[in-house]
Structure 1
């Protein structure tokens, strides 16, 4: 029995010594904050891990090499290739990759974006514009406006303002949006106005998978019928829950958003699918539904830098 235990102990020790630990922490080179979701791999292999919420990571490599080649990467940061001593505890500092961020229009947004809009049901003609203040007046605000009409009594108006982001290039990050929406649709017997404010909360990665942005919001709305025979109205506060995410990453470049707002006596459902096209074009399909009103809109947008 003692001999068996001794053999087991020897076997366990040999297996343990055949693994070399690699550990450390990944920091933002500018702020010094720990970076979550950074991929740390043994170069040319799939052996590795992702950093935790404070940037710490740890994994093992087979055998007992004197040194280990590592590849460290994260979206928006310059990839690092380095060699470290086996069994070492290291600190890595990643710098923002200005080229890659500029290419995805995160660091250098376009000056403006214009859209042609066509509603399928109520408002067949429309246009929209988005102005990035950081490219005009050096103020990190983005203003949006769109208008649709059927050249008669139906129309839909949206005016929005995107406030400066909090911790834009590091997770968790928060974006803030204000929006006014007006619908006048006698064909659906309704007039609707809403004022909303929402936060987009992005927490980063989980197990190497990028998580969607969680949308939380609140607002005030007024709905009333336009028919003279009905005088009831619905007014009050509501709350919004939604998600924004990259539904199909490159090479497909399809982005999706969906949100539901609960007003006092009804729900409003809104969603959008956007597909990136060559030459800075985008094609989108948008949905807006509340009570007996349902509109699907087709958009073709072009960005100008």
Structure 2
């Protein structure tokens, strides 16, 4: 009998690839949209990878409302809760994204437990397992980040509080439903839909020559295709029940990403910056560039992190980060060419 999986937020970058991977494995897939007018666009994006949209259905549901979640969840075997509000929140405050992320997660879990789904896999963030920068500790799944730590922006604060709320909810939930969380780093890779791109905008801006002088920032990178595969592994592996899994591959500095783009893409990467802005210069600019205040705390830091648990328990084997960055850039450039025709 075909099992059914609900993926929340079908227009999202990660959600779209989760849908593709599930359909390839023969699952019946449902996805939620805030507005069903996006259904045709999602179907076309998925079909570009799978060849067809058979087995995919759509439900209207929003993280900010109770409406629609019970109907979307009815008779589902599994849930991949990928949807979450995006943005830095710099203009509205560090808690500006917390309520929709936390309350939306609780709505999803409430509906899932009422429907007695087998397991919910929630997409969190690697930052939720990051200790204080001065601690010297390695980020692993035993660590819980402090949402009041000033290193975190509104998006990461919302992820920390939403994941905490999810685990607290499950402590008192009755029934068979299990929870697993996946904690990705910076997610890059080929694009299905040109919206809700999150981290991909970093590569998009580099290709556009922005910023002209790069800050000394680095990222633990995961390919969106590998991340989607890991979600399916976390959904089906008996060993994943009740566990957190950090999902990252290699660490690259922004300057290394830029160097890779210039070396492999030739003239197509002509605008990619070549110079790095000294840390002291970034700090001098902070009064005039408030969006840099949170990232500035990470300048020059390659904080230690380990994805070993996902590798050893689930067999996670991410591709090289340089491959991911290049595939992402080539996809962005290809889309620019198709638009300009």
- Answer whether TM exceeds 0.5 for this pair: no
Larger proportion of helix:
2
**Using CA pairs below 8 Å that are at least 6 residues apart, which structure has the higher relative contact order?**
2
Superposition TM-score, scaled by structure 1 size: 0.26
